[in-house]
Amino acid sequence: MSKEIPYKIYLEESEMPKQWYNVRADMKNKPAPLLNPATLEPMTYDDLRPVFCDELIRQELDDTTPYIDIPDEILNFYKMYRPSPLVRAYCLEEKLQTPAKIYYKFEGNNTSGSHKLNSAIAQAYYAKNQGLKGVTTETGAGQWGTALSMACAYLGLDCQVYMVKCSYEQKPFRREVMRTYGASVTPSPSMTTEVGRKILAEHPGTNGSLGCAISEAVEAATHQEGYRYVLGSVLNQVLLHQTVIGLETKTALEKYDIVPDIIIGCAGGGSNLGGLISPFMGEKLRGEKDYRFIAVEPASCPSFTRGKFAYDFCDTGMVCPLAKMYTLGSGFIPSANHAGGLRYHGMSSILSQLYHDGLMEAVSVEQTAVFEAAEKFARVEGILPAPESSHAIKVAIDEALKCKETGEAKTIVFGLTGTGYFDMYAYEKFNNGEMTDYIPTDEELEKGFQGLPVVPER
Amino acid sequence: MSKEIPYKIYLEESEMPKQWYNVRADMKNKPAPLLNPATLEPMTYDDLRPVFCDELIRQELDDTTPYIDIPDEILNFYKMYRPSPLVRAYCLEEKLQTPAKIYYKFEGNNTSGSHKLNSAIAQAYYAKNQGLKGVTTETGAGQWGTALSMACAYLGLDCQVYMVKCSYEQKPFRREVMRTYGASVTPSPSMTTEVGRKILAEHPGTNGSLGCAISEAVEAATHQEGYRYVLGSVLNQVLLHQTVIGLETKTALEKYDIVPDIIIGCAGGGSNLGGLISPFMGEKLRGEKDYRFIAVEPASCPSFTRGKFAYDFCDTGMVCPLAKMYTLGSGFIPSANHAGGLRYHGMSSILSQLYHDGLMEAVSVEQTAVFEAAEKFARVEGILPAPESSHAIKVAIDEALKCKETGEAKTIVFGLTGTGYFDMYAYEKFNNGEMTDYIPTDEELEKGFQGLPVVPER
């Protein structure tokens, strides 16, 4: 007789993970190393020191240690907003009339509004521990910038955020949250960096992009004494920190003897998806269990489903190392009507390798359908989801409806990464029936691929 | 040996309250009845039926039944976002270097962003149960309107919201959240009601007020077949539903053998404060325990601390019954620089009677100090608080600092009613150093009192 499943499963503090899980340790095919764009040689610890914090570089390069202790200070910060609930979507199941059992891990119950805080506090902690004055970063939709501002305010670190210009203008309130936490926020591209001035000279009317904001933030970090650059997604270290999501999910499921069949996450740079699936992927890699993993991305920015698995620049200004990943080319910018986040041109090297090896699936969805799913979810489950998270909702609903057809009572777990309170501009477009879809043509994608650097097979 | 207190105390579903607590049953001096403005006689069940839902009228008039069962459907909805955490403010205590132990009951972890959902689902449920088509209401800052939209979307009821015009314009995103939940939102005063047209004719440039939006919503309800009016604060029924806050708080405290010395809540119409303190006030009324209760209100809208305890109209259009309460007069509108919510001219009759009988205290605070407290709290506790809630934070900090002086390790509990994600306009003013304070003069208040109706002593 199985235990009755509550609407929300909260772990006790004592059940919270004390270590992050490093999925690379269990990967037979390790993700390809970062390369120095000048020499095309793997980046070493010393190569990376001007840009990143020392301990974070160690984590970035470590592909053998399976478990890494979470420092006490970070554990205490986690206790302020974690554990996050694993929610049984009883109301959504009833609405869909599906035999499927749907669960979501909800990471939005904190002021950053998303899972980003899990890595922000870790990166800020290591920066502080190294005796740095501050950190620089970029932000797109603003979730990462908010999370980093919160972590820096807590630790007393300076925080400088380059915010993609169109977001800066469309989301003045996101900017104010960061300012309330004491961060300085600069619209990117800006005149404050050399790379920003160069981009502005070449593209005077540009609305900015994540790749461009990254270039500016890296330059700002390397030109100030006592500063380093930090990044909210894509990197191995970020996926490592985000495994608290998956580890908590796994403990919560095991507490109630629940075995998931399908695990679904939205994918921009891969931080949430990687964090959610890593512990489960570990079991699959070790041959202990099998699960279906589904990455969901926007049809307007389809790096997994239509990108190339190749070395590419992580930023527009080409100041960062090269990473091997599924990419649309570092010059790729989603069409102007794109509203749903997940707009990065590349993808985590770890997830790219796992996808390349056939260990996970990927699908792309169009944004109008995503917002329809978001609205349906909001009305029955109460939570107004972030557009990013709603990509996962859309596919979770699709899978639950397949179960309705086949009569299978599959267990579906998805990551609800955050809330949409600062995305009402996009919701307004949807509410007014003004939202449109766009799928890039093969020709458009080809143009992006032409910017890929030539890297000999290693 | 006392148990170690976690950062957040979550109850199990089985520990959640199954009944609301009706504090009036334990009050020796009952709150004065609502009066018919025409006859000055107490409003009967039948008098109230055109405006309110039947079961809610029963709850409104019942001042003898101590516990009222919460229907299963409402309990299930509560499970979607409750129990809310009782948080130990370890980080704030450390920041203040106080021996005080500070706890807050955090009601903001739901999409309405506040405690308002507790009563919204109850009122919508009884409307649905009565076979109604929909409900009308007013909203100021937008929390109540959002909560009611969510509850109505869940139950499939139509929801018509009259939103105070200045909020409608300053908070377009609040409006879009309500629209996402399917509500229709009209800026008030509007041309859609007789009372709205009258107010617009008399005050062409008016930005609206809660009292005026109430008048419009009541008219809209009584002029449509199958509609009733619902209200998010002030009424006895609302305080009743909100006792889930206090009941959960009490259970959580008792689980860890914590006895509060001081309980603090912000007070606009009294819904949060009444809900939080009722179960503790019951103990005090029955002579079982003693606590200090502190109501915190804005210095710019000081109904408790500078208002009159008298019968007054609940709305500007004078279409509602008269209530005996601490009031600034139904024509009172806070000064234009007022940013912190809690702008209603009156106060719950229950709380007014308790205050009048010396069972609780009240203090008023200025908004710049409130936002300073909000910022301090946000930076150490992570949560960006609603301006309303920040009134309670301000006084909790003041009391904790008094403990620091005296060396007393008092236990302070306060209500953190919600989040400030839709109040960034006010935070922006604060961040830019543009926020000002205003305390109404005695002459200004006297003008408000002149509008009080003449009601003979009963």
* Most A CBs within 10 Å, among B10, B380, B384, B390, to test the A interface: B384
Mean pLDDT of B271-291: 98
Residue of A nearest to B113 (CA): A421
Instruction: Say if the Cβ atoms of A154 and B113 lie within 8 Å.
Output: no
* Degrees, nearest 5: CA angle B23-B388-B245: 35
**Which residues on chain B are in Cβ contact (under 8 Å) with A179?**
428, 431
Residue B2 banded pLDDT, cuts 50, 70, 90: low
8 Å CB contact of A375 and B176: no
The phi and psi torsions of B358 (rounded to 5 degrees) equal 75, 20
| Sheet strand arrangement including B411-416 | B8-9, B86-88, B101-106, B411-416, B262-266, B292-298, B361-365
Instruction: Please give the helix or strand (H or E) that residue A246 lies within, else none.
Output: helix A236-255
How far is it, in rounded angstroms, from Cα B15 to Cα A214?
A: 48
Residues of B with CB under 8 A from a CB of A: 6-8, 10, 12-13, 79-81, 91, 109-111, 113, 150, 153-154, 172-173, 176-177, 179-182, 375, 378-384, 419, 421-422, 424-425, 427-428, 430-431
Q: Supply the pLDDT for residue B340.
A: 78
- In tens, the pLDDT along B366-386 reads 999 999 999 999 999 999 999
- B1 — pLDDT class (breaks 50, 70, 90): very low
- How does pLDDT run across A362-403, given as a tens digit for each residue? 999 999 999 999 999 999 999 999 999 999 999 999 999 999
Q: Which residues of A touch B379 (CB under 8 A)?
A: 150, 153-154, 181-182
Q: Which residues pair with A319 in a beta bridge?
A: none
Average predicted confidence (pLDDT) for chain A: 95
SS3 B414: strand
User: A280-322 pLDDT, tens per residue?
Assistant: 999 999 999 999 999 999 999 999 999 999 999 998 888 889 9
The shortest C-alpha distance from A421 to chain B (Å) reads 7
Q: What share of chain B is helix, strand, coil (3-state, %, to 5)?
A: 45, 15, 40
Structure tokens given for A159: 């925080």
Q: B308-319 pLDDT, tens per residue? A: 999 999 988 888
A402: closest CA of chain B, how far (Å)? 24
Q: Could you give the percent of chain B with pLDDT greater than 70?
A: 99
| Closest CB from B13, B153, B421 relative to A421 | B421
Upper half-sphere CA count for residue A100 (Cβ side, 13 Å) = 29
Closest CA to A63 of A22, A6, A19: A22
CA distance B113 to B105: 14
> Chain A to chain B, count of Cβ pairs less than 8 Å apart?
114
Query: In this complex, which of A13, A113, A422 lies closest to B7 when CB atoms are compared?
Result: A13
Quick one: pLDDT band at residue A1, thresholds 50, 70, 90? very low
* pLDDT tens per residue across span A248-261: 999 999 999 999 99
* pTM given for the model: 0.95
Residue A382 and residue B150: Cβ atoms within 8 Å? yes
Per CB distance under 8 Å, which residues of A are interface residues toward B? Answer: 6-8, 10, 12-13, 79-81, 91, 109-111, 113, 150, 153-154, 172-173, 176-177, 179-182, 375, 378-384, 419, 421-422, 424-425, 427-428, 430-431
Q: What integer pLDDT is reported at residue A42 of this predicted model?
A: 96
Query: Between chains, do A80 and B381 touch, taking CB under 8 Å as contact?
Result: yes
What pLDDT sits at residue B453?
A: 94
pLDDT in the model for residue A2: 55
Model ipTM?
Answer: 0.94
